[in-house]
Amino acid sequence: MSVLRSFALAAATFAFTATSHRPATVFDLSDDVGRVPSAITLSAGAGKTIALSDLRGEPTYVFLFAGWCSPCQQALPFVRSAYAKYGGRVHFVGVDVLEDPEAARSAITAAALPFPVAVYSIEQLDAVVSPDVQLRAGTKYRIPADFLLDANGVVRYAWHGLSITDAGDPVDVLPSYLAKLGIDVR
């Protein structure tokens, strides 16, 4: 019995350390609520990168979306409006996810977001996290996904999917989370 227990413990330890040593993905922000996330650097095209750790000093809002995602398209007006209101006090970063780079570039152009937008392609994610694991992970890989980091880089809030009222109408929840961070949202 102790041989089986030792084997099981060794297998569990290997599985834990194997998953904890993979490169961080932008989706891992879901797991980092309450702490500073692992270093995440995103490709913003034309050789430009966005390192979340470089954005400290002000809160940072990260919006994950895709061109094919209808709820993401419904959220875009809220995101543009929030940037217009709070962009001088909050860093905004968009990330097109879960599509190929060409489709991502088209979606980014169509979205016309007035702040930096990076691409995290489905190929990048699949290379780090198997599609089977993604499917079994629940809401972690659901988009739109929104993350709010405080001025120290700590992930304070994460929400997935389009927020809706009881009547089924889309609702902008970002101002309430910004207010919890002390941002004047009036």
Q: For 5-60, what is each residue's pLDDT tens digit? A: 444 444 444 444 444 578 899 999 999 999 999 999 998 877 899 999 999 999 99
Q: For 136-156, what is each residue's pLDDT tens digit? A: 998 999 999 999 999 999 999
- Tell me if 145 sits within 8 A of 33, measured CB to CB: no
Q: For 106-133, what is each residue's pLDDT tens digit? A: 999 999 999 999 999 999 999 999 999 9
pLDDT band at 1 (very low <50, low <70, confident <90, very high): low
Phi, psi (degrees; rounded to nearest 5) at 19: -80, -30
The pLDDT value recorded for residue 2 is 52
Task: Tell me if the pTM is above 0.95.
Answer: no
CA 148/CA 171 separation, integer angstroms: 17
The pLDDT value recorded for residue 36 is 96
Q: For 146-185, what is each residue's pLDDT tens digit? A: 999 999 999 999 999 999 999 999 999 999 999 999 999 9
Domain 23-180 adopts which CATH fold? Answer: Glutaredoxin (3.40.30)
Q: How many CA atoms lie within 13 A of 66 on its CB side?
A: 16
